[in-house]
Amino acid sequence: MFFAILQRLGQMIFVMFGISTLVFLIFFATPGSDPAARIAGRNAAQETVQAIRKDFGFDKPLPVQYVVMMKKLFVTRDLTSFVNRGLEVVPQVMRAAPITLSLVFGAAVLWVFGSIAVGVLAAMYRDTVIDKGLMILALIGVSMPVFWLGELMNLVSQSRFHDTWLFSWVPGLGYKPFFDGPWMWFKTLVIPWFTLAALYIGIYGRVLRANLVEAYQEDYVRTARAKGLSPGRVMLRHALRMSMIPFVTMFGLDFGVLVGGAALLTEVVFGLNGVGRLTYQAMLNLDLPMILATVMYASFFVVVTNAIVDIIYVVIDPRVRGH
């Protein structure tokens, strides 16, 4: 077990090194990519570009520039923005991370429990009105773009019906930190949670339903039913457990990507200044230090989430333990 953890840590470091190198080379080594010229702006004098190149250390060899940037990012943590001079990027990411984590964790709880409920009920009542109704609702959830659903929820809760008893409790757009008031934090995020989770409940519910239907054709489920086990026990202890393997795989990938900034549209619609919005603004300005910091943050969570998924495999699938 200890060796497996060390191996996973080594893989994590290798992946993050590869990602950081790739991002660095894209902005510094590709033809025509001169960060000094981008910082100086259009029609800048050549003397100005040369002064910026020397000031930022762009006149040094690429390996030296990479090492210096990684040192400032991970060791001294004083890497500053190329666009907003003097603005340190690590504190900016640390301030945005709790917002994205709060959004994605809450939505993940909803979509995991919601999709399991949809998939299990649809499989247990296969080919009935309940099954067809749930699959139609799941398809509707998949078909609604996040930004459209978010704007619709804002129109209903912030404008049209905000003064009614139904939505008078909804606060204005923005984020309220958890430690400033847990109840206000919850009220701020509950609608964004449902907005982000709707798509994934539809996708995961349909996938889980298909996996459960297939599992009911397997020999181990037939054996369990032949032993006289109750339908609920057969579902939860046998069919559902094995059907959760593809579910967990999808969840690991989607959760890591969303925490890494893919929840951008939800953040923009609800005025949440999370990592996705921070990355988007950095991309617009071609602010390499900020882009590098957010990409490293995203890669860390993707790798960690996949490591956790591997551990969950061992728990839910006895065949993995044998290896």
Over residues 112-121, the pLDDT tens digits come to 999 999 998 9
Q: 230: which 2 tokens?
A: 């109750």
Side-chain-side CA neighbours of 262 within 13 Å: the count stands at 12
Over residues 189-248, the pLDDT tens digits come to 999 999 999 999 999 999 999 888 888 887 777 787 787 777 777 787 778 877 888 888
Over residues 130-161, the pLDDT tens digits come to 999 999 999 998 888 888 998 898 888 888 77
Distances (CA, A) of 79 to 47, 57, 65, 68, 290: 25, 13, 12, 9, 9
| Nearest-angstrom CA–CA distance, 227 and 230 | 9
Q: 267: which 2 tokens?
A: 């953040």
**Quick one: pLDDT at residue 316?**
67
| Nearest-angstrom CA–CA distance, 262 and 266 | 9
